[in-house]
Amino acid sequence: MTEHVWNYKSTSGHLAGTDLTGYKVEATDGGIGKVDKHSDEVDDAYLVVDTGVWIFGKEVLLPASTVVSIDPDERKIFVDRTKGQVKDAPEFHREKHLDDPEYRRELGTYYGLGGPFGGGPMV
């Protein structure tokens, strides 16, 4: 089954309406920060992660499809990318990119099947 890059996977455990702000985000090889903002809109779901000192205080935008699981008891979100893959994603500036369709296409290609992680486009 192909799932849209801007939607949560059906197996992630995400429940619409859950406030994920403040949840820790764990890559496959360690923590990358905390959720600063998120959306669970259909076809427009994402996490804005404050990386703190890890990437010099920058934020990153992760499409919801990168979420593997959510642990509400531990307040942690697990994503299926390494820290390096997140760090190498197209640079994100909230005021410039959050609502920019071209940036979304670029990021969707990077994280989707058209990027370094798979086959054809999935934007």
pTM above 0.75, yes or no: yes
Query: What is the rounded distance in angstroms from the CA atom of residue 88 to the CA atom of residue 95?
Result: 20
- pLDDT at position 3 is 54
* pLDDT given at position 121: 39
Return the pLDDT at 116. 63
- Summarised one tens digit per residue, pLDDT across range 14-38 is 999 999 999 999 999 999 999 999 9
Contacts of 35 (CB under 8 A, 6+ apart): 20, 21, 22, 23, 25, 47, 48, 49, 50, 77
Give the pLDDT mean for 1-16: 84
Nearest 5°: the CA angle 61, 65, 67 is 80
> Cα-Cα-Cα-Cα dihedral of 61, 19, 29, 103, to 10°?
-10
Q: Is the model's pLDDT at 122 over the cut of 50?
A: no
Domain residue spans of the chain: 24-109
Q: How far apart are CA 7 and CA 121, in angstroms?
A: 15
Residue 66 CB neighbours (<10 A): 25
Rounded to whole angstroms, the Cα distance separating 20 from 62 reads 13
> How far from each other are the two terminal CA atoms of the chain, in whole angstroms?
15
Q: What angle do CA 118, 56, 51 make, to 5 degrees?
A: 55
pLDDT digits (tens, 9 = 90+) for 62-109: 999 999 999 999 999 999 999 999 988 999 999 999 889 999 999 999
The better pLDDT of the pair 123, 84 is held by: 84
Residue carrying the six token digits 């699981």: 69
- CATH code linked to domain 24-109: 2.30.30
